[in-house]
Amino acid sequence: MAENYEINLKKKLALRGIQGFIFLTGVTAKISWVGKEIVDEMIESSRPFIICAWHHDIYFSTWLLKEMNLTALISSSRDGEYINQVLSGFGFKAVRGSSTRGGIGAMKQLVRCLKDGQSIAITPDGPQGPIHKVQEGIIALAKMTGAPIIPWRYEGNSCWNLNSWDNHKIPKPFSKIRSVFGQPFYIPKSASNSDFENYCQQLEILMNDLIPEFKEQS
């Protein structure tokens, strides 16, 4: 369970400012889509899925994925609460927890969401990295529920990068943005825990292949 962090007025105004800047970027950017028909078809047929995104793409995922009615796995930390506040402004629901805090409870909630037909979003290299390294939780969740993992990334032709562990990406207003979905990735029920590392590596390759020019950075 997430701690009840108190957010002061100054921080609330800053978070509203971030939401406003995301909106400005969203309405001024030229956005193109690759593979969106994959998730559109799954939504239309009421089949839940797991969006796999890198942690450094969280900021603008708020805009690019806002129409998908997603529940996001968000860290129980104070920084996670800030992320939760921003995401909720774009219609995201949240399960709070991570591989380091509240992991078992969060996993149970995510399983329940998927069993109830609710799609979710996970950043498997969060909340503390290593960057672009898939942790096993997303593999275990896909195995338990039978829900497919949908790799997702975006790129922008003009972005700022924060001085953070994940080099977090902030696209600029009026930039060109490409949002890319990969093919569904299923984990068989027969997979054993010893297989998870191999599936993590396969998922990392699928993520890298979405935007090949990023391979050397991943």
**What's residue 175's pLDDT?**
97
pLDDT of the residue at 101: 60
Give per-residue pLDDT as tens, 137-191.
999 999 999 999 999 999 999 999 999 999 999 999 999 999 999 999 999 999 9
Q: Taking the CA of residue 73 as centre, how many other CA atoms within 13 Å lie in the half-sphere pointing to its CB? A: 36
Lowest pLDDT segment from 12-21, 60-69, 122-131: 122-131
List, as one string, the DSSP characters of 121-164: EE-TTTTT--TT---THHHHHHHHH-PPEEEEEEEESSEEE-SS
Residue 4: pLDDT above 70? no
Q: Per-residue pLDDT for 26 more than 60?
A: yes
- Residue 71 is inside which H or E element, if any? strand 71-74
61 band by pLDDT with thresholds 50, 70 and 90: very high
Q: Provide the mean pLDDT of the chain.
A: 92
User: Could you tell me the domains of the chain?
Assistant: 9-211 (3.40.1130.10)
Burial class (CB in 10 A: 0-12, 13-18, 19+), 143: buried
Greater pLDDT, 29 or 99: 29
